[in-house]
Amino acid sequence: MNRRRFLQHSAAFSALGALEFAPWQTLAAVAREVDDFVRGPAVKDHPLRQIAPHVWMIFSPDGFPTPENQGMMCNITFVDTAKGLVVVDTGASVQIGEMAIRQIRKKFKKPVVAVINTHYHGDHWLGNHAYVEAYGDALPLYSHPGTIRAIEGVQGKLWRTLMEQWTNQATLGTRVVPPQLPLENGAELKFGDVTLRIHHLGVVHTPYDLCVEVLEDRVMLIGDVAMDRRIANMDDGSYVGTLKAYDTLEKTGSRIWLPGHGEPGAKVLQWNRELFEGIYRTCERAIRDGLPLEEAKPLVLKDPRVASRARDTKGFESNIGKYVNLAFLEAEAAGF
C-alpha cells in the first residue's frame, strides 16, 4: 500500500465511529474530505517579478519535477488588469497554486478573475484546484477545447498520478479541476484596460497549445511552444508544426516571449528555432542520404546549432536521444 492509500485508510478508520449511523448521502462528501486531508507539505514562497506594465510572473528555476522542488517546474504568469488578475498556467499542484496566491495577495488588492491553461501537461494546470478553492467554483477557467477534453479524459488523472510519483508524494491532495470555457485561435478576452489575444497554431508542443498575447504590452505568453535553456517535450508535438508556428508568431510584433520554462526575453524563439532546425533538418538530410537512425544522432550532435546548446540546456544529455528519434520519425513520415 502506498503512502497516499495508507493515510487515506487511516483517516477513514478514525472517522468510522462517526459514520456508523450516518446516511449514505454523506459518504461521498466524507471521502472527499479525507482526500483533501491527506496533503503534501506547503511549497516555499517564490517571489513575484514584473516583466512588463501589466505582466508579472513567478519564475521556476527548475526544468523538471523532483521531490526537492515539489513539482515547482513551470513559470506562473499574472496579467494585472483593471478588472482583476488573469492567471496563465497555475503550476503542478494545489500547494504551488496556494503559494502563488499567497504571493499575489501580498502585492495586489484585487481578485483573480480568470485562469487560462495553455495545454494539457499537468505542470500547467494542476494548480487550478487552489484557485477554485480561493475564488469559488464559478471562476472562469479557459483553454483550447482539445485541452479540455484531454484533461477530462485520460490526461487529468494521469498527470496527477505522475506528479505524485515524480515528487515522492509532495503534491498529494491535488484534485483534477479541468478548464471549462473553450478558446479558439483569434479569440480576444477584454479585461478593462487589457486585451488578451489567443493564438492556436496547430500541432506544436501538443495539438492544442495556446499562446496568449498581451496586446498593450507586446508580450507573448507562449507556454511550452518555446522554452529557454530546455528542449520542449515533443512526444505529442511536431517539429515542422513548431517551426511554422514560429513564423506566424514572429509576425505579431511581440517584443518579449515569456515561456513556461526558463527566462523571458526577446530571443527565446530564435534560441528554439536554431536548436529545432539543428535537430530536424539534420535528420532530414540523413534520410535523404539513406542513413539509418543510429547514424543520424552523431550528425545531430555535431551540428553547431545543437552542440552550442548542449552545456546549458536542462535535461540535454538524458533527452537528446529521444528528441532525435522523434525528429527522425517525423521526417521519415514526411517522405524524406
Query: 197 and 62 in one domain?
Result: yes
**Mind listing the pLDDT tens digit of every residue in the chain (336 residues)?**
455 545 444 444 444 444 444 554 454 455 455 555 689 999 999 999 999 999 999 999 998 999 999 999 999 999 999 999 999 999 999 999 999 999 999 999 999 999 999 999 999 999 999 999 999 999 999 999 999 999 999 999 999 999 999 999 999 999 999 999 999 999 999 999 999 999 999 999 999 999 999 999 999 999 999 999 998 889 999 999 999 999 999 999 999 999 999 999 999 999 999 999 999 999 999 999 999 999 999 999 999 999 999 989 988 998 999 999 999 999 999 985
Establish if 114 belongs to a structural domain. yes
- The verdict on residue 197 lying in a domain is yes
- Parallel, antiparallel, or unpaired for β 188-191 and 194-199? antiparallel
Residue 131 lies in a domain: yes
Query: Is the same domain home to 95 and 150?
Result: yes
Checking 212-218 for CB contacts under 8 A at 24+ apart, the result is 212/79, 212/88, 212/116, 212/118, 213/252, 213/254, 214/52, 214/54, 214/55, 214/79, 216/53, 216/54, 217/52, 217/53, 217/54, 217/55, 217/256, 218/52, 218/253, 218/254, 218/255, 218/256
The predicted model scores a pTM of 0.89
Structurally, the chain folds into a number of domains equal to: 3
CB 120 within 8 A of CB 206: yes
Residue 9 falls inside a structural domain:
yes
Q: What is the pLDDT of residues 73-128, one digit of tens each?
A: 999 999 999 999 999 999 999 999 999 999 999 999 999 999 999 999 999 999 99
> Does residue 156 share a domain with residue 100?
yes
Q: Do 14 and 97 share a structural domain? A: no
Per the structure block, which three cell numbers stand in for 39?
A: 496533503
Range of the domain at 326: 274-333
Q: What are phi and psi of 68, to 5 degrees?
A: -70, -40
Say if residues 328 and 296 touch (Cβ distance below 8 Å). yes
Question: Do 77 and 115 belong together in one domain?
Answer: yes
Specify whether 120 is located in the same domain as 24.
Answer: no
Q: Which of 171, 203, 235 is the last residue of a domain?
A: 203
Q: Are residues 175 and 65 in the same domain?
A: yes
Tell whether 256 is covered by a domain. no
Of 208, 152, 159, the C-alpha closest to 185 is: 208
Is 149 inside a domain boundary?
A: yes
Q: Assess if residue 253 is contained within a domain.
A: no
Same structural domain, 10 and 140: no
Residue 56 and residue 105 in one domain: yes
Q: Are residues 55 and 177 in the same domain?
A: yes
Report if residue 40 sits inside a domain.
Answer: no
CATH code (residue 135): 3.60.15.10
| Same domain membership, residue 90 and residue 9 | no
Write phi, then psi, for 115 (nearest 5 degrees): -130, 140
Do 147 and 88 fall into the same domain? yes
Domain final position from 203, 236, 257: 203
